[in-house]
Amino acid sequence: MGCSTSTPSASVPAEPTPTASPWTLVWSDEFDGETLNTRNWLFDKGAGGWGNNEWQYYTDRPENVRIENGVLIIEARNEEYLAWKYTSARIKTHYLQSWTYGRIEARIKLPVGGKGIWPAFWMLGENIATARWPTCGEIDIMENIGNPTTVYGTVHGPGYAGSNAISKAFVSPVDLSADFHIYAVEWEADEIRWYVDDQRYHTVRRDQVPGEWVFDHPFFIILNLAVGGNWPGYPDETTIFPQQLQVDYIRVYQAGS
């Protein structure tokens, strides 16, 4: 009786089917122009504390806000300007771009930090002029108060604003000012989730807030770098200037079909 010398051919595994993303890109700013795109951004200018007893004067000067090599730079400086000792910048998409629900993300390199340094990537309800704060709602996608290993995700609304806001810290194993990282929220009708580099660290649901859920209408984006304030405290002799908040891009996705 003969025996076969051939061996069965091995089956080739099928290529896995990619998982469809639930999100479709609907808007972005890649900061690839020479100057800030005024179809997307307005400047908030001036001083007066901005409701938090901050110390900076916000300007639209290139010293404080500019694009370099495809990166938006917001720079806080220690300098005399119109009787104020610090300058910085704050930009917003108010009246130009706003969204209801979606994934809102930015690739950001934090300032090196120090006492009194307060960068933020956040959102306010488009109806702020009529509803006022906090009834308009506020979603803080990323805030940092001087320690570049810790960021915060927060919501403010009626009955849970200011020191009573619903907030959680993300503590990073690495210095977030050493490189760019992605900060995002995924905002749905009944839930908001916060991420750093796609690591989820905070969730707030409609049935958890001790007041009205005010996150069901259009919101606009704000980027700013504050100096001082009630929450971070104030610069001292150890605080280094200038400080830079660097943003590679901002992207907004919404649920795809």
Residues with active-site annotation = 138, 143
- Residue among 211, 185, 183 at smallest CA distance from 197: 183
What is the dihedral angle through the alpha carbons of 140, 150, 227, 103, rounded to the nearest 10 degrees? -30
Q: How far apart are the C-alpha atoms of 124 and 92, rounded to whole Å? A: 10
Backbone dihedral angles phi then psi of residue 217, each to the nearest 5 degrees: -150, 175
DSSP states of 68-113:
ETTEEEEEEEEEEETTEEEEE-EEE-TTT--BSSEEEEEEEE----
Q: Could you tell me where the DSSP H helices lie in the chain? A: 128-131
Rounded distance between C-alpha atoms, residue 181 and residue 21, angstroms: 21
Q: Could you tell me which of 153, 74, 148, 164 has the C-alpha nearest to residue 113?
A: 148
